[in-house]
Amino acid sequence: MATKNKNLSEYDKATIPNAKDFRFGIVVSEWNDNITEGLYEGAVNTLIENQVLPENIIRWNVPGSYELIFGCKKMQEQEVDAVIAIGSVIQGETKHFDFVCEAVSHGIKDLNILYKVPVIFCVLTDNNMQQAIDRSGGKHGNKGTEAAIAAIKMVELNKQ
């Protein structure tokens, strides 16, 4: 597994660009909100720890992970420097998991190709609830933290 022996919340603060003038949009899926709220908290706390002003963070909710694509597309129009897409899809008994995961990953990839505002993929695609818990503030740290750091770095890259 990709997170084995890695804590998603660890990063070297000395390597992070100054983000005090950056604006971020965060689009959060309401589905599996016990997971997505933890991811959101990890992202926001990390942005603030890296000098982002709270008023420069915009949050929108969407019903599920599938709707993240449209929400992120609309968020890109809000004069933000980057968007973080937060969702959680957990394997069930049907192929629904496969269709949602593939559509969301391709949709967010397409937004990155088509538009000038980077969209960071912070969508957990886990086999069970425990894996999601472990990656949203549990034993593997918080993917929201990792996404916030990626967003800051991508804003800096985009401004070069």
What are the C-alpha distances in Å from 10 to residues 72, 107, 114, 146, 148? 26, 28, 31, 8, 12
pTM for the model stands at 0.94
**Catalytic residue annotation:** 96
> CA 136 to CA 41: how far, in whole Å?
9
Contact assessment for residue 22 and residue 54, using Cβ atoms and an 8 Å cutoff: no
Domain regions of the chain by residue span: 30-159
pLDDT in 10s for each residue of the chain, 160 residues: 455 667 878 888 889 999 999 999 999 999 999 999 999 999 999 999 999 999 999 999 999 999 999 999 999 999 999 999 999 999 988 889 999 999 999 999 999 999 999 999 999 999 999 999 999 999 999 999 999 999 999 999 999 9
**Per DSSP, what are the bridge partners of residue 136?**
142
Fold of the CATH domain 30-159: Rossmann fold (3.40.50)
